[in-house]
Structure formats: C-alpha cells, structure tokens
Amino acid sequence: MRKYGIAWLGTVLIIGGLIAFAATQERWILALLLLHVALAASVVVILIAIRQLSHVLHTQSRNNKMALAGFGENLADSLDAIREPQGVLVSSLSDALRKMEIHRDDIVSLDTYARAAATSISEYIEGVGFQMQKEFHSSVDRITKTIRHGSNEIESFIDLFSRFPGTSWPMPSTGGWAIDAQGLNVLLALVEDRRPARILELGSGTSTIWLGYLCRVYGGELITLDHLEAYLHKTQTAVDLHGLSDYVDCRLAPLQQLQIGDAQYPWYAVESFGDLSDIDMVVVDGPPAATGPKARYPALPATLSRLSSKVTIVLDDAHRSDESEIMEAWQSFYPAFTRLEVGFPSLAVLQRGY
C-alpha cells in the first residue's frame, strides 16, 4: 500500500506542476485535461487500495476459519478426553472455550474495521466525484471567460486599427502591465470626443503611442511621465520610430515621498511637470500598485492647481480594490468632479466643467 501511495503522490505533484505551468500560460484547455488525468490517477489508486484491502480481509477471514477449524479439533480432542480423568477433561474444555472467545473478538473487530473502511472509501470516492464536477464547471467558466475576453480584445484591435490606418510601425502590445485593447478603445474614444489640448499621462507605455497619434490628428500635446528610466527610454524609442516626437514629451519623474493630508505616498516628482498649466486631461496609469497602498491617489490632489476649468481624469485598473477606494475618496473630497459612466469597468472617469 505504501508504494502505491508514494507513486500516487509523485504523479499528482508532477501533474500539478504541469497544471500550474499551463495556467500561467493561460492554456486552460490543457490545464483542464491535466486536471482530469490527475483525478483519474487518484481514482485508479483508490481502486487499487480497495483491492488490496479486500485481499487483506480475505486473508484474515481465511486465517480465522483455520483458527475455528483448530478449535473444532481441540473440542474433539476434549470430547475424547471424557475417558480420561475428570481434571484433564475440565482443563481441555476451558482451554478450548478460551480460544473460541479470543477468536470471536477478532472476528467482531475485523467486521467493524471492514465496515468502517468501506464507509470511508465510499465517502472519499463520493467527495472526489463532487470535486471533479466542481473543478470541471470552474474550468469551463474560466475557459469561457478567457475566450470571450480574447474575442473582445480582437474586436477592439480591429476597431482601433480601422480608426488609425496610418500607423507607420508595429504598435506596442496591450494587456498584462499595459492597458488592454478594450480599455484603450474607450480611452481613445473619450479623447476623440473631447479633444484635450494638453494631456498629462502618469505612467508611459502602450497608450502613449496611440494617444500620440490622436494628438497628431487634432494638434494636441501629450506629456508622459515614468519613474523608471529603462521604461521611459523604451517609450521614447517607440515615439521616435512612429514620428510622434513633435506631439509627445517623455519625461523622467523619479518617485519621491509626497505628503497628502496625513499620509505620505511614493509618487512622481512634482518638479517633472512644474511648468505645466491648463491640463485638460489626466490619464492615471501609474505608479504601479507594488509601490504602495493606494499608490495613485495623489494624481488628483497633486495636479489640481494645474488643471483647466474643463478637465477629465481617467483612472485605469478601476476594477481593483485600491483604485475603487481612490475613486470614492476623490468623489468625496472633490465634489466639483462628477463621475462619467463609460461602460467599461477597468476605466473610471471623473470630469469637471462638463
């Protein structure tokens, strides 16, 4: 039994590792198939364990039968001893009765153990079946959501490129750390509608290039900040390749401790945009959440004095708990700003003067 348990544990660990790797690659169908293989292997091991237990019970029963047969022989010997002296007869009968009592207890204990084992195995198999069904439905839901999200992303990409056919170089990737195609589509539609003369972007990347193309179309200006020089250099390279340097100003803004009320936040150096005024739109896509709790909260209070009378604040990743709390705090502390519903949960929009 022990060797089967070790083999089962090793198999589950290997398949579990493969499932985790497939999940990180978002290969949900492969992960589902591996999960079913792991569950099937578990069921096979359980069936083997039941067979081994049955063999043990059969062996024990056979031994007990042999013991009872021995008891019968002892009893026959005792009856034969009737012809012997009375003391020998009593001794033989007592010994036979004592052995019968011992084996009776063994048989009762074995029966109790067998019943308990059968009940436990039945409950375990029932639990495995329920868990398999639960994992199957969960995997189907995840795969369905992944397929639906991928389909929406493709539709958004088609829409983006149909609106901007003049892109001269391959566009940077969306999703992951960057804004996804659906959120980008909503952001660009908002910019096209309002045509801000000056946009301040907190956190450079994919959206910088798309916004740069829009600024070139209607003559706007984009200032983008990043606290990491390597990422800013990557963005600047893309801006130059696409011929957008006349419309996009990439600035390095190291994170510094900024006091807002009673709290301090690691946020972009305010000197990096100290020369700006009349900002018509702020796109908040940084700093990353890993820099601290509510890392993006200073975006509104730190830029408030430099905003125009008609301004739009766009907060990315609004579906996360930190960003949701930030939006609620902004609405509470800055009642002049009202929320605009854009129909996409990852973007939250505040506006003033509209």
In the chain, domain spans: 2-151, 181-352
**Across residues 69-89, what is the average pLDDT?**
53
Q: Quick one: pLDDT at residue 114? A: 67
Question: Is residue 155 predicted with pLDDT exceeding 70?
Answer: no
> How far is residue 65 from each of residues 71, 72, 102, 104, 126, measured CA to CA in Å?
10, 10, 13, 11, 34
The share of the chain scoring above pLDDT 70, in percent, equals 56
Helix (H, G, I), strand (E, B) or coil at 279: strand
What CA–CA distance (Å, rounded) separates 130 from 136? 10
What CA–CA distance (Å, rounded) separates 153 from 129? 36
Question: Is residue 245 predicted with pLDDT exceeding 90?
Answer: yes
Give residue 71's Cα distance to chain centre: 65
- The fold adopted by the segment(s) 181-352 is Rossmann fold (3.40.50)
Q: What is the pTM of this model?
A: 0.57
CA 345, 346, 351, 354 torsion-angle sign: negative
35 CB-near residues (< 8 Å, 6+ apart): 15, 19, 135, 139
Beta partners for residue 198, in sequence order: 221
Report residue 89's pLDDT band, with 50, 70 and 90 as the boundaries. very low
Phi/psi at 322 (5° precision): -60, -50
